[in-house]
Amino acid sequence: MNRDLFFTMNPNSHISSALPQGICIQGYAGSFHQVAARLFFGKKVEVIPCDHFRDLVKWAGDPTLSAGAVMAIENSIAGSILPNYNLLHQSKLQVVGEVYLSISQNLLVNKGVQLADIKEVKSHPMALLQCMDFLETHRFKLVETEDTALSAKHLQQHKHKHSAAIASKLAAELYDLDVLVPDIQTQKNNITRFLVLKRKADVLPDAKANKASVYFQTDHSKGILAKVLALIAKGGINLSKLQSMPIPGSHFKYGFYADMEFESPQSFQKVLTALAACTSQLKVFGIYQKGKILKG
């Protein structure tokens, strides 16, 4: 185990309240990433839109460009965003918090537009799929775009009277659009988990930390993963997530990303010490407060 990691295993680490620069998000203003950022930092947080998650992680790691990032990591319907785990692993960013956002998809229109006026609906392909039960009850032309919030922005810019967009209520607010039909998603239990990321130097103590995100590798000895899981359970740790990922360059060897919930930092530290003896590449991405499901 890399002993330098014990800096990141401080059970009191958290985020600085000072935000001298913006927080990186993926997508455009009005995206669900911005909704999550507002829920964590407050409505006045400045966001820095990034086209791709790779840009988000790069900019979040540069103190001259941003104060950190909010990055989606998994969805209750679509599952884990696997490339983002690799980006997190390759970065030097720390997880300092999380947001569970209940996704609300809404039919947005320009002022005065009625349902009977709409001929086409534009949005990201995933948003269209999430709202297909509603959309199939109407004879709309469906147009795929690169981003939900961008669809809302273009709708407002071009003053379309026969088009609608599917996006967040925040997008409606930012682009002065009407929410013609709210909550049109088919699955009402659609929740995306976002990680809040900061540079190590900006992490401050948090005595209320009760969750950790960890990565480890094991050898191929018989029963080794079962042994690891038994150690976690014996230590009174709730393993809330276990995600396997191929180790790049290996022949079908896997590493594991784990989220662990605990009642006391001491119990987590004890389990971590035990894991160090039977794993390799043990790394703690951050210790933080468990998030709650919120609606933007």
Class of domain 211-288: alpha beta
- Closest Cα partner for 95 from 258, 293, 240? 258
pLDDT > 50? residue 9:
no
pLDDT confidence tier of residue 19, bands split at 50, 70 and 90: low
Q: What does CATH list as the number for 106-181?
A: 3.40.190.10
pLDDT > 90? residue 32:
yes
Q: Tens of pLDDT along 100-132?
A: 999 999 999 999 999 999 999 999 999 999 999
Equal fold, 13-102+190-204 vs 106-181: yes
Q: What does CATH list as the number for 13-102+190-204?
A: 3.40.190.10
Residue of higher predicted confidence among 244 and 252: 244
pLDDT at 220: 82
Residue with tokens 């600085």: 16
Separation in Å, CA 148 to CA 103, 132, 198, 281? 12, 15, 26, 38
Helices 224-234 and 265-276, packing angle to 10 deg: 160
Global pTM reads 0.90
pLDDT at 11: 33
* % the chain with pLDDT above 70: 93
Helix ranges (H only) for 42-185 are 53-60, 82-90, 125-130, 132-135, 148-157, 169-174
Whether residue 260 contacts residue 216, with contact meaning beta carbons closer than 8 Å, is answered with: no
Instruction: Please tell me the total number of residues recorded for the chain in this structure.
Output: 296
Every domain of the chain and the residues it spans: 13-102+190-204, 106-181, 211-288
pLDDT > 70? residue 16:
no
Residue of higher predicted confidence among 102 and 14: 102
Q: Tens of pLDDT along 195-245?
A: 999 999 999 878 899 999 999 999 888 999 999 999 999 999 999 999 999
Q: Tens of pLDDT along 156-198?
A: 999 999 999 999 999 999 999 999 999 999 998 999 999 999 9
